[in-house]
Structure 1
Amino acid sequence: MHRIASLVLLVALTAGCGIALTAGCSVRDRARSSPDRPSPSVILSSETAMVDDPPGTVGCALLGAAITAGSLMTPGVVDDVVAATRDADAPLADAATRLGDAYKIAVAAAGKADEPDKVAAVGAAASDMSGVCAESGLKTAG
């Protein structure tokens, strides 16, 4: 099941660029064509705004929205998820840190041969964090 979730995340990450990243769409291309902030589908509206109780609730909700929207590689999205887990318990905060680190590495790999692998690592880290959210009883999607 975990393998399927990782594959779904990878497909969602690459969906905006066609079938595969190797088809000519890099992190840099997506950053240039993306708005400065994530799409409204990733931002929690006032109608769905949540109290971060227990800590990490908002971070997990943001992660779920980003996974659903396929916007993990949109500038600012992962940073918002990481920031929202600042006060969460250690397992969740650690998973968010791994997600943030993977994102930074993927952005640095833009245009390089290993970029697809680094972007896939972001999907894997997001899948891992989603599992930690679930284990903590925090909702990530739907």
Structure 2
Amino acid sequence: MGALVTLDLPDDSPMLGLPWIITFGPLGDGDEWEPVVCGPYERPHALALAEAVVAEEQLMAVVEPLVPALTPEEIRSEIAAAQLAAEDEAARLDEADLYGDFEDVIDEELELAAEREPEPQPANPPSAEEVHAGFARIATLLAARGA
């Protein structure tokens, strides 16, 4: 079983209505290949497709919104926000190292939790027709944003 990473958003987040992409890549350090980016999809379709793939393969799937930037300034703003988030994450990790390396303990806890909990089954992926209908809705959404 692989890993799925996505944003945990509140139910009223405007990001939920954006198109979403899935980036599939290697899960482990030993496997090196170029990530595969798929989409855009509506968020429920992206999540279901990603779950279906990682349920059967040792892959990492990152499901994230596709932010339709219209100007270089909007793109620079998104880049700056991503850089700031990366700096914050690096600082948080550096701070955590002050207290030692607890990866082994965490791995053991995860293994014990996995033994206790039944493996979740992925949601049924959407049909090709449902994905095509989602494409049409995304195209309408993007066209309205550009108007």
TM-score normalized by structure 2? Answer: 0.28
* Structure 1 or 2: more strand by fraction: 2
TM-score normalized by structure 1? Answer: 0.29
